Every structure is written in structure tokens, then in C-alpha cells.
Structure 1
Amino acid sequence: MRVDRLLSMLLIISNKGLVTGKELAEHFEVSLRTIYRDIEKLGEAGIPVASMGGKGGGYYIMENYNVDNLFLKKDEASTFMAIMNNLNFLFGKNAQFNDMVLKIENTYNREKNTDKLSINMSHFSMENELKEYLFLMNQAIEENKLMVFDYCNRQMEYSERIVEPFQIAFSSGQWYLVGFCRYRDDYRRFKLVRIRNLRMGEDFEKRDISKEEIEEIFEESYRRSSIQVTLKFSNRMGKQLTEYFQEENIQQTEDNQYIVVDHFPYEEGLLKYILSFGKECEIIEPRYLRDELREYVKELLHLYNG
């Protein structure tokens, strides 16, 4: 049982007040059965998580129970503070962030130990710009300021974008700006490494839309552009597959190989992603994707045999 998931689940239920099992399953990318087991574990730990059936129902924490009653061990508080200090480059000038850090420090009355954990961003080709951009984006979100920048597409062509910033996101090793793009007239995710000449623009009126509604826009766009793919993996990949795919999408065959059925964006990067598994992975369906990969490999052979 993952303790970090249980703690995160508790905080989500506490902050939202009422959360469905489906929402929790989608957030943690696990099955509903796993969520049910996690809720049981919270109950066994003495945390009064109750459920409400019917439309508009979900899980909630019973009244008179304060999550603040939970406590961190000294080493856990030290680790948490180390993380906060490493994120100082992003939120260091944010008053709420600094207040929170001071409260944690005062609560646990500990000696500072900011060297126990380090977030190394030296692999970014634009490390200094990244830190500057993250801070500027956070400031723009706080102050409802437009973000103006030049954005590079996959053809290495730049276009100016004016964006109403909504959120800074970190996913799969990359930072993103999430916001409403006035050029595309829709919500978009912008990869920070493709952004140049970032600056703040004029004030804008924040749109009446929730994070969940924006996620639904992205999910619908993903569904429209994605295809179902069936992959076969060798038995050598067995223990690693859960690092890449949800467990419920993985099936073991009688000959100890593995079948993965999942949805992927149908774009240029899909073939490269599948090739990253080398000879341990074979496309079963769709046939046209298998044919496309064969032609791609032929081009690679021609390149290196030429």
C-alpha cells in the first residue's frame, strides 16, 4: 500500500469536502477497486472517511475531525521543508508560500537541513530562463496578467501567442503553462522549453471555469486525436511495464509475454515512443500503424546504410 497515495487522498478529500471514487481513481490513475481498498485502509487507521450514495454523493471526512490532527515525524518534516526550499526559486516571492514555510518550521521547531534533498535542473538547456519563466508565470497567474511569448512548433516555426495563464504544470519531466490561447481561441498546454521572449501583458478578467472543466477539454481533445493500440512485450519487460502503463491495461499471456491495450495520441512521436522499447515491443494492432513503423525503420536503415 502506497503511504504517499493515502496521504494525498486524505488531503484531497479534506480540501474538496466531497469526492467521488471515480475522481480519485482518475487522479491517481488506479482502478476503483484500489480506491475502495485505500478508503478501507484510512478507516482502519482511525480516519473517519464516510460515503454518501446517490447523485452528488461521494466520500467525505466526518465533522469534528481535523486533518491537522495528523502529524509528521521529524524526518518527514525535514524532507518536506527540503522540498519547499528547492521550490523557492518558483514561489520564493509569494507571501502565502513563505507564510506556509514559516508555519511548518515553527510547528516542528527543527534545525534547518536544506541540503538533504536537491532538485537538479542542470539538464535543461535553458536552466536560467526556466527559473525566470516559472517565477514570471506564477506572478502573472497571481495578478491576472496576460502572458505574451513566441512559441516554437515542431517545424521550428515561431508564432506570437497571447495567453490567459491558468496553471503551471509539471508532467513527464517537462514544465508546461496551461491557459487560454487567444490565437487558437481555446485552452492549450505550452511546453516551457519551446517558449522564448516571455513577458507579462495587460490585465485580463479571469474566466469562470474550473480546473476540472479545463481537464475535460483536454481529455476530449485527447480522445478525438488518440487511437487504440495493442502492443506485445517480451517477458523481460514484465516488471517494468507498470512504470509506463496502468496495471489494468496489461495482460500476461500463457507463454509469459505481455499484451498492452491502451490509447495513444496519433502523432509523429508515437512511432518514436514505441521504438524506444527496441526489440522488446511489437505492434499488433492497428495494422496501419505497424506498416507505418516498418516504413520508418526502412528509412532509418537507408540513412545508416547510405
Structure 2
Amino acid sequence: MKVSRLVSIIMVLIDKKKISAKELSDMFEVSTRTIYRDIEAISMSGIPVHSTSGIGGGFQIMDNFKIDKNTFSESDITTILIGISNIPNIMKNKEFPSTLAKINNFIPKDKIESAQIKTDQMHVDFDHWMGVRNLDHQLNIIKYAIQNNNVISFEYINHKGEKTKRQVEPYQIIFKSSQWYFHGYCYERSDFRLFKLTRLSNLKLIETAFIPKDYKKILLDTTNIVTKLQVDIKLRIHVSIMERLLDYCEPASFIPDSNDYYIVNFPFIENDYYYGIILSFGGQCECLEPLHIRSELKRKIESLSQMYKV
């Protein structure tokens, strides 16, 4: 049970006269059963939540109830503040400053400075260091379409470089591995698909609204799948690129091999993306084994050499 979700539900109940379990489950992307457990936990904490069944029913905090500032611990509030302080600006709506002010209002005056220090100890920056496209315009269109159930149209370039026209019902914006995506139902494929924003062009909002389908969130934790596909390849690398290899390999896996060189087992999947990673290390990296991957790297290098041959 997440404390951050419980506090957020309380904030919603304070703001709204009444809200249903279905609305809360959609809002927090959990099951209605989880919402009922959360409401029970909130009630047990001393906050009187009244529920009504049937059409127009839902949950509401009883009239005239005032939440004491001591209801939440400093740790509870700090957890919430860290979370919402690191929401990317493009995802914040016009109510965000008001929401932040309400949460800050729960901090006792003698704990404000301490809570702020703890909040500032973690910072998430969604911007790249340099030279990438600004996707705010696309994100704003997709966010509006999700909130208003509007279909969007665009041209899409897949991983093979093929361009197709798509019409999609968008359901979720996703930020993963420093990239923006959205998940939606594609009319051309008659199924849900994941789209990378940098591959979109001519993005347009279609005024026609759609009736939301039963939506199951996409599986984003692919650790088990990737682990099954990966094989270890043995590389001999120069110390100058060691810091780049540390993005993929544990420090303890680097074995010294003469002056300024190391032997390291690199987790590798046999596809163009991973071959590109190895080739990006240039002359500071040699694949020792297995032989068939070494041979394929040699073939790619020879092909590249022919392309630039004068």
C-alpha cells in the first residue's frame, strides 16, 4: 500500500464533494479492490470517509471535518513532495500550484525547513544534456487527446525506416529510458501499440471523440525477457572508454589485461542496436569471442569502410 497514493486520495476527497471507486481507480491506475482497501485504511487512520452505493454513489469525507496537521508524518509529506516536485513541467496542469500549496499547508511550521531540505536531496531532470528535439508540442496534443478522448492522426516511421499513416486512440503517456512514448489503440493495426514520440510527424488532433476501450497497461518491466535474450561477449577495452562500459557492466567485472586495457564480459543481444553500441566504441574496443559475433562485427566494419572508400 503506497503512502503517496493514500495521501493523494485524501487530497482528492477534500477537493471533491463525492467521487466513485471507479473514478479513483482510473485516476490512480489501480483496481477498485485496491481503492476499497485504501479507503478502509484512510478511515482507520481517523478520517471519517462516508460511502454511498448505487447510481450517483461514491466516497466523501464527512462535512465539517478538518484534517489535523499532525495526521501525516514529516516523512509522509516529504515523500509526496519529492514525487510531485519532480513531475516534468509539461505534465503539470494549471491546478498544480494550488495542489502543491495544499500539501505544503500540512507541514507544521517547525518542520517546514527540514521537509524542504529532504525534498531538495533528490532531483530528477527530464531534459537531455544537449542537442535533442523539443517534444512539448507533441506532448501537449497527446495529453489533451487523452484527457478528452480524442483520436489523433500522424505519420509514423518504424524501426525499419518505413513510414505509415496512423489514427490512434491515445491512453497513456510514458517516459522510459530517457525517451517519451505513448500507448494507444491503432486503427490501422486493430490493436494497442507503443509509439515513440521522436518518430511522429504531422501530428493532428481529430475532433471526433472515442469511447474508451477496456485498457490494460503495457508491460514496461522487460527485465526477464531481455535476460533470456542476452548473451555475454568478451571484450578487450581501453581504459579511456571504461566509464561508458560502466553503464552496462558492474565495476567488479573488469579484469586488468596489460597496461591500460581490461577484459570484460558485456551483456549483448544479437541485433543491429547492440552491434551499433559495440561499433560506437571505435578502436578502443575489440570483441574477442564468440567468434560468430566477432566475424559479424568485422563484416560490418568492412562494409562501412567500403562506403567511405575514395
Band of TM-score, shorter chain: 0.5 to 0.7
Matches within 5 A, 1:110-125: 123=130
Say yes or no: does 1:228 pair with 2:227: no
Per residue, is there more helix in 1 or in 2?
A: 1
Distance between the aligned counterparts of 2:150 and 2:225, measured in 1?
Answer: 26
Checking the alignment, whether the CA contact within 8 Å between 2:146 and 2:170 is kept in structure 1 is: yes
Asked which structure has the greater CA Rg, the reply is 2
RMSD over equivalenced CA pairs, Å: 4.5
- Specify the code of the residue in structure 1 equivalent to 2:235: K
Checking the alignment, whether the CA contact within 8 Å between 2:173 and 2:180 is kept in structure 1 is: yes
TM-score by structure 1 length?
0.57
Q: CA deviation at 1:301?
A: 2.0
- Specify the code of the residue in structure 1 equivalent to 2:295: D
Distance between the aligned counterparts of 2:106 and 2:131, measured in 1?
Answer: 36
Q: CA deviation at 1:132?
A: 1.6
Shift in alpha-carbon separation, 1:280–1:13, aligned structure 2, 3 A: farther
Checking the alignment, whether the CA contact within 8 Å between 2:233 and 2:267 is kept in structure 1 is: yes
Matches within 5 A, 1:204-283: 204-211=211-218, 214-215=219-220, 226-234=229-237, 236=239, 237-238=241-242, 240-245=244-249, 247=250, 251-253=253-255, 255=257, 257-264=262-269, 266-283=270-287
Matches within 5 A, 1:1-306: 13-14=2-3, 68-71=72-75, 83-84=86-87, 87-93=88-94, 95=95, 97-107=96-106, 123=130, 126-127=133-134, 130-154=135-159, 156-201=161-206, 202-211=209-218, 214-215=219-220, 226-234=229-237, 236=239, 237-238=241-242, 240-245=244-249, 247=250, 251-253=253-255, 255=257, 257-264=262-269, 266-306=270-310
Equivalent residue for 1:51? none
Q: CA deviation at 1:223?
A: 7.4
Distance between the aligned counterparts of 1:16 and 1:290, measured in 2?
Answer: 50
TM-score by structure 2 length?
0.56
Gaps of 5+ in 1: 1-11, 18-60
Shift in alpha-carbon separation, 1:185–1:99, aligned structure 2, 3 A: farther
Checking the alignment, whether the CA contact within 8 Å between 1:233 and 1:259 is kept in structure 2 is: yes
Gaps of 5+ in 2: 7-40, 46-69, 114-122
Deviations 1:39-94 (A, max 9, x none): xxxxxxxxxxxxxxxxxxxxxx9x96x994234999x999878745xx3333234x
Checking the alignment, whether the CA contact within 8 Å between 1:166 and 1:178 is kept in structure 2 is: yes
Checking the alignment, whether the CA contact within 8 Å between 2:4 and 2:76 is kept in structure 1 is: no
Q: Percent of aligned positions with the same letter in both sequences? A: 25
Number of matched pairs: 233
Checking the alignment, whether the CA contact within 8 Å between 2:3 and 2:76 is kept in structure 1 is: no
